[in-house]
Structure formats: C-alpha cells, structure tokens
C-alpha cells in the first residue's frame, strides 16, 4: 500500500466504526431478558423487569399497547399486530 492509502483506509474504518456509535449493545442488552420472557411467559415483552427497565431509563425499548419491548420486537409487534 502506498504511504497515503494506509492512513486513509484507517481513517475511513475508524469513522465508520465510531460515527454511528455503539450500535451492537442496544439490541443485545435486552436479548437475555427477552429470551427468558419468551420461554417463561410465551411473550416478548419486558413487563417482568420493571426495576431493570427503570434503572436503565428504558434504554433501547419502545412501548407498544401498554407493554415494553426491545426496539426490534416492538417494530414487529406493530407490523404484524401480534
């Protein structure tokens, strides 16, 4: 690689990784509680975790029809009317 291409590539990678922020953690943060809710209660809402929701200020959740969901499940809920 040329002397200019390597730093330019590094700059592009750093911008692409840092610019959107930490996108992976928002959805994966609620993956275990959502999975437990599915197994134990047969639904994907997070109503079983009010203290956890409040402690995290409802981070990366949406409210749909009186229930709290992760962003992914809430969008599916609205789309398919589950």
- The per-residue pLDDT for range 17-43, each reduced to its tens digit, is 666 555 555 557 888 898 999 999 999
Q: Is residue 70 part of a domain?
A: yes
Q: Is residue 4 part of a domain?
A: no
**What confidence score (pLDDT) does residue 82 get?**
42
Q: Is residue 59 part of a domain?
A: yes
Residue-number span of the structural domain to which 72 is assigned? 24-80
Q: Give me the half-sphere count of Cα atoms (radius 13 Å) on the Cβ side of residue 74.
A: 16
Confidence of residue 65 (pLDDT cuts 50, 70, 90): confident
* pTM score of the predicted model: 0.56
Q: Is residue 72 part of a domain?
A: yes
Number of domains in the chain: 1
Q: Is residue 73 part of a domain?
A: yes
Q: Is residue 19 part of a domain?
A: no
Q: Is residue 17 part of a domain?
A: no
Q: Is residue 35 part of a domain?
A: yes
No. of H helices and E strands in the chain?
Answer: 5, 2
Q: How far apart are CA 57 and CA 11, in angstroms?
A: 34
């Amino acid at each position: 690689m040329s002397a200019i291409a390597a730093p330019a590539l590094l700059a592009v990678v750093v911008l692409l990784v840092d610019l959107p922020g930490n996108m992976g953690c928002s959805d994966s943060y609620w993956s275990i509680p959502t999975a437990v809710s599915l197994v134990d209660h047969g639904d994907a809402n997070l109503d079983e975790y009010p203290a956890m929701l409040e402690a995290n200020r409802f981070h990366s959740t949406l409210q749909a029809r009186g229930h709290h969901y992760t962003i992914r499940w809430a969008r599916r809920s609205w789309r398919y009317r589950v």
